[in-house]
Each structure stands twice: as structure tokens, then as C-alpha cells.
Amino acid sequence: MNTIFIQDLRVTTRIGIYAWERELPQTLQLDLELGLASDQAFRSDDFNDALDYAAVVARLNRYAGEHGHQLLERFAEGVADLVLAEFAATWVRVRVAKLAALPNVKALGVAIERRRG
């Protein structure tokens, strides 16, 4: 199995169940692992065979800026759906955390794994 990972991506979004939370931009931390359908890039050393990491990061930043969800759970599901649909991953593991959302808590969040089909 071949995977690509993106670790500690910080995105800015408006999220929360309380109206006051959605008034202020918040930083979320994302960690992703993407299962690759092909191992061609590992053999060919050709960018055309590879997943464009920068494109994934840019798309996730746009998604964070555009989304309107209240729950981290739904945000994580949207990230998984996006990666599976737009980047041809066979599976994805997504971890989304709010940073310092509660006193004495460094991060809290959700983790999901989804497969195409």
C-alpha cells in the first residue's frame, strides 16, 4: 500500500455550534493520509504520475474558507469527500482538531477514515 501524508496543515475557517464561534475565524489543524491508486510515481520519478501535494493543500484551504458547517465531524467528512472525489485517492484518513478550544486542552477533534465506493 502506498500513501501520501500531509501533517499539521493549518487552515482558517468559521466553525462552531454557537453563533459567536462562527463570528471569528478559527484555526484548525488537519492531518491526512491518502491511499494512492497507483505506485507509478514511485517507479517513474515523473511528476505527471504523482499526486500534486500543493494542489491538495490549496484546495483544502479553499474548502476551509468556503464551508459553512457547525461540527468538526461534518467538516472532516467534507474533507474526506473532497479528497476522494477530486484527487483520486482510494482511501483517506482525516484528523481535524480545534486548537486550544477549551481551557487546559491543547487540541480536540475527530478522526475518520473513508474509502472510495
Question: Which has the closest alpha carbon to 31: 100, 99, 85?
Answer: 99
Question: Is 98 labeled as catalytic in the residue annotation?
Answer: yes
Distance CA 21, CA 16 (A): 5
Catalytic pick among 98, 101, 104, 105 = 98
3-state secondary structure of 25: coil
CA distances from 57 to 1, 28, 44 (A): 22, 13, 23
Q: Write the DSSP string, 94-111.
A: EEEEEES-STT-SEEEEE
Question: H helices of 52-96, where?
Answer: 53-66, 72-86
The residues assigned a catalytic role are: 98
